[in-house]
With several copies, the nearest count.
Chain A
Amino acid sequence: MLQIKSIIESLLFASKGPLNVEEIKKVIPDAEKEEIKAVLNELKNEFEKRNGGFVLHEVAGGFQFRTKPEHKEYIHRLFQPSPARLSKAALETLAIIAYRQPVMRSEIEHIRGVNAGNTIRLLLERKLVRILGRREIPGRPIVYATTQKFLEIFDLKSLKDLPTPKDIDDLQTASKPDDQSLPFKSESADPSTSENNS
């Protein structure tokens, strides 16, 4: 029999999206979950140490081979034209949906103060958000949530990994150039507080 490590590596290589332990287990039923987990971590370390063009990255609850950010310039040159970047409106709408999910269109519009129909449509088309169902209030409005692909695209391990909003004090000083360059300050605010689960 082939080495499990080699098999797992080929699966990660051939898969379209990140693979998790359960998905690998389904393909190699003989392997123990613990064993798979160990191999994944071993591979991750190995590719990191190799310092080549790509690494095994942990994202959206699974593992996926990805190039390193420092190569982007060259890869963009290889793929012309590069995909359209998300607009500010799309990012803001996405942030609201991510934080407030499940959320209605009217709630998004209430926060942003502008019509959100087209932006939601775009996010649906790009599969970054999905229709979760309807809210049981008059009119039965549709409620939206983020997708697995949202996690994959924005390099999040899970929704718990979402960036926390800035504190109000930080928001006010954000216009000063010095403050803007601050890296992610780990906020004291717990991501699971008020904003997260209304």
Chain B
Amino acid sequence: MVNEPYTIKLQDIFEGPMDLLVHLIKKNEVDIYDIPIAFITEKFLEYLEWMKSLDVDIAGDFLVMAATLAHIKSRMLLPSRNEGTDTDEDDDPRKEITGPLIEYMQMKSVAEKLARQPILDEDVFSRNVEKYNLVHDPSEETLQVDLTSLLSTYRSLLDRIADQKGLRITFEGISVKEKMTELIDIIKEKGAVAFDSLLSDTPDRIEIILTFLAILEIVKLNMVRLIQSSPYGNLRLIHRKADDARLQN
């Protein structure tokens, strides 16, 4: 069945269908701009068969690629609609994989070149100053902060309290939070505002909902008072502080 048995070592298992395609193209010294699609498809399927025979789970990505190749192959068999014109090249169904393949091969070449650099902590070493004597108290140790450390700190806090009863932490959309902060700033500055004036000139539904949710949250926080003078009338938001002052005068 397979006349040329694969001699692939297990560590050479391909990362994905693209990786396999690149291997087939290089191994068979195929011109990337003129891929013999029937041949490559056959080799691709042979490899899948081989993986199956080893009881390796074939990832869905490989099957998608097999289908894509088969589809291109069938389109190659159809006569070109623009026969006789100069657009033959543009019509080449193989274009669908040629472009992505070139892109992937280029990125692979960059990865290979990167791996050849003298890599820090693998080929060259800097001084190990993690435990530099200057830090006397470990609690005083400072960390370089970045988004990833902020996020992972928050996640580990959530994990830490996950089991505690009576405390429910939900992943709230940050957008409502941001809106709240923004609105409190406005209301604090102006003392009182109408709901309408908090919206942009052409608010979309999301913005209206977001603003409304944020206002409800602010009211819940007891930082503003909400007044509606007539049914369906405009909502007015009054800063609690300003409200107090007015009542006293």
Complex A–B touching at CB under 8 A: yes
- Chain A residue with minimal CB distance to B187? A133
Contacts of A69 in B (CB 8 A): 118, 123-124
- Shortest beta-carbon distance, B47 to chain A, in Å? 14
Check B49 for interface membership: any CB of A closer than 8 A.
Answer: no
Q: Do residues A130 and B65 form an inter-chain contact, with CB atoms below 8 A?
A: no
Q: A72-B123, A182-B64 are in contact. Are A94 and B18 (CB under 8 A)?
A: no
Check A83 for interface membership: any CB of B closer than 8 A.
Answer: yes
Q: Do residues B144 and A136 form an inter-chain contact, with CB atoms below 8 A?
A: no
Q: A96-B154, A183-B64 are in contact. Are A112 and B177 (CB under 8 A)?
A: no
CB within 8 Å of B: which of A109-124?
110-115, 124
Per the bound structure, the CA–CA distance linking A44 and B150 in Å amounts to: 36
Q: Do residues A95 and B178 form an inter-chain contact, with CB atoms below 8 A?
A: no
Per the bound structure, the CA–CA distance linking A51 and B24 in Å amounts to: 46
Per the bound structure, the CA–CA distance linking A155 and B145 in Å amounts to: 11
Contacts of B109 in A (CB 8 A): 163, 165-166, 170-171, 174
Q: Do residues A186 and B68 form an inter-chain contact, with CB atoms below 8 A?
A: yes
Interface string of B70-96 (1 = CB under 8 A from A): 110000000000000000000000001
- Shortest beta-carbon distance, A37 to chain B, in Å? 21
- Chain A residue with minimal CB distance to B151? A163
Check B213 for interface membership: any CB of A closer than 8 A.
Answer: no
Q: How many residues does chain B have at the interface if contact means C-beta atoms less than 8 Å apart?
A: 96
- Shortest beta-carbon distance, B138 to chain A, in Å? 9
Max chain A Cβ within 10 angstroms of own Cβ: one of B18, B100, B114: B114
Q: Do residues B150 and A112 form an inter-chain contact, with CB atoms below 8 A?
A: no
| Chain B residues in the interface with A (C-beta under 8 A) | 15-19, 25-27, 29, 31-32, 59-61, 63-65, 67-68, 70-71, 96-97, 100, 102-135, 139-155, 157-158, 161, 167, 169, 171-172, 174-175, 177-178, 180-181, 184-185, 188, 221-223, 240-241
Contacts of B126 in A (CB 8 A): 14, 17, 64-67
- Shortest beta-carbon distance, B216 to chain A, in Å? 14
- Chain B residue with minimal CB distance to A185? B96
- Chain A residue with minimal CB distance to B113? A163
Check A160 for interface membership: any CB of B closer than 8 A.
Answer: yes
Check A197 for interface membership: any CB of B closer than 8 A.
Answer: yes
- Shortest beta-carbon distance, B234 to chain A, in Å? 23
